[in-house]
Amino acid sequence: MEHFDKKEIDAKIAAGFPLTHRRHNRLHIEMPFGLVNDPNGLVYHAGAYHIFYQWNPFGCTHKNKSWAHTATRDFCTYTMPTLALWPSDAYDKDGCYSGCGTVEDGRLRVLYTCNAKDAAGNRSSAQRFGTLVRGAVQKEEIVIAGPPDGFTSHFRDPYLFHWKGTRHLVIGAQTAEKRGCVLVYREIADGWTCLGELKTQLKDFGYMWECPNLLSFGDCDVLAFCPQGVPARDYDRQNIYQAGYIAGHASLDAMEMLTHGRFKEFDRGFDFYAPQIFTHEGRHILIGWMGMPDREADYPSRAEGWVHSLTLPRVLTLRQGHIFSAPAAELKALRHRETERPLEAVGESEFSATLYDLTEIILDLTMGEAYSIAVELLFGLEKLVFRYDRLAQVMTIRRDGMKLGGRGERRFKLYAERILSMRLYVDHGAVEAFFRHGEEAATIALFPEKNIRPTMRIFSDVDMDRISGVLWELEPLHFEGEGHGGDGENM
């Protein structure tokens, strides 16, 4: 177990802000050093949104799993990130794995998975509460010592929710037969009791389910989770691991997701996993990890000493069993109003515009007689391509035109009758795309070889009726005290 000196690590974090290396993202939360992964403990408390996330401060490997913490009132200005939770005893000596946040008696508390291995490499997984006090989580009682009989030690990522006035949690699990599932626990007078597996109609759906969330959209419930070991298909499940949901009705009396639809993915890009969703004032807000396990070679920033980001915060809505996602409205405050530039062309098959280093783009492409439409982001001779086949109703994302990092393509079904709508956020090393007003989304990590301002090029097989839209230069996220060694404890 590494020695964690919080004061020393926090000072090193503060000294690393503002992020200045050209590959560092500035619209997305990331760290000046180390490996970032799963968002955790998302909760609204004392006037601010609190965001924890897994972090290895000692390298770009999946070891030394700790939690960093930041807070924001507006998703634009954040407290300086600090180390908040780290391995320190026999229960979590091999990592503080994912968990959730809650507010209890005015305190911000977290519930997380303790990971420990013995000399033979056998894993033990326990669930533990802690309370955030002066920037650090004070560890408290172990509330679930291990998985129930019939399940392996792959037992992690607790998520709290209320049902019929009583606190419950869902947790990712694996049966002894190596089948992924979600278990449900109920809080009782003297602890927590396991109600069993929340059954679904999904068959042969992976060997492990991670990062479950259970939430309600009015009279419909959504079970979100990350299955591992699900084979790819032509138009979905194309990443090594998936992140998605089923929508139906959760009955904890029957212990089943009733009348649910098929599994759908939150994001169609290359680099999205382990999302967590929290609710405040009626908004379901999702933050995901912009990365992918077991794909280390796709992320060359490791050579610079850091890797991965969190996604933009997205607000989710459910319509007819399908989740739509949109960037949080607060992000509009990042727009430089004086840089607003209209994008307009009538009866053209080609159009281009020079972008800013940090850009938001809103596009409406009235296709007319065009059946093949492409939107390219060009970085000198490199490019990322979004190509829409109107006849097949398929969107294809290709990043084979990039020299560094991951490549390949992703394809998914998308129906656009007359107008193809897109919204793009372009960061130094990332693009987040929203299609058809959030019907689908895609997260893509990019590593342009040269430090060059991108250009957007739109073209089609024949003239389109109209190209319309707008773009803005965006302000980078601001971290309080950056450049001044701020303590990050103001929220």
In the three-class reduction of DSSP (H, G, I as helix; E, B as strand; rest coil), residue 385 is classed as strand
309 and 342, same structural domain? Answer: no
Mean pLDDT, residues 324-331: 98
306 and 204, same structural domain? Answer: yes
- pTM for this entry: 0.97
pLDDT tens-digit profile of 1-42?
A: 889 999 999 999 999 999 999 999 999 999 999 999 999 999
In the three-class reduction of DSSP (H, G, I as helix; E, B as strand; rest coil), residue 63 is classed as coil
Determine the Cα–Cα distance for residues 79 and 100; give it in Å rounded to an integer.
20
Determine the Cα–Cα distance for residues 267 and 271; give it in Å rounded to an integer.
9
86 and 54, same structural domain? Answer: yes
pLDDT band at 101 (very low <50, low <70, confident <90, very high): very high
Whether 20 is covered by a domain: the verdict is yes
Closest residue by Cα to residue 263 from 184, 321, 333, 325: 321
pLDDT band at 483 (very low <50, low <70, confident <90, very high): confident
Query: Contact at 8 Å (CB) between 235 and 411?
Result: yes
Domain boundary, last residue among 306, 330, 354: 330
Determine the Cα–Cα distance for residues 171 and 160; give it in Å rounded to an integer.
9
pLDDT band at 486 (very low <50, low <70, confident <90, very high): very low
The catalytic residue among 5, 10, 38, 253 is 38
pLDDT tens-digit profile of 407-452?
A: 999 999 999 999 999 999 999 999 999 999 999 999 999 999 999 9
Whether 255 is covered by a domain: the verdict is yes
| Domain span including residue 298 | 6-330
Query: Contact at 8 Å (CB) between 153 and 146?
Result: yes
pLDDT band at 484 (very low <50, low <70, confident <90, very high): low
450 and 395, same structural domain? Answer: yes
Listed in sequence order, the residues at least 6 apart from 406 whose beta carbon sits closer than 8 Å to its beta carbon are 270, 271, 295, 297, 298, 299, 399, 445
**Residues 87-117, buried b or exposed e (16+ Cβ, 10 A)?**
beeebbebbbbbbbbbeeeeebbbbbbbbbe
192 and 47, same structural domain? Answer: yes
Q: Structural domain tally of the chain?
A: 2
345 and 319, same structural domain? Answer: no
45-49 contact pairs (CB < 8 A, 24+)? 45/101, 45/103, 45/108, 46/108, 46/491, 47/73, 47/491, 48/72, 48/73, 48/491, 49/73, 49/75, 49/280, 49/285, 49/313
Mean pLDDT for the chain? 96
> Is 204 assigned a catalytic role?
no
Mean pLDDT, residues 165-182: 97
pLDDT at 125 exceeding the cut of 50? yes
Give the angle 355-325-164 at the CA atoms, nearest 5°: 155
Element housing 114 (H / E): strand 107-117
420 and 273, same structural domain? Answer: no
- Other beta carbons less than 10 A from residue 466's beta carbon: 16
Listed in sequence order, the residues at least 6 apart from 338 whose beta carbon sits closer than 8 Å to its beta carbon are none
pLDDT at 213 exceeding the cut of 80? yes
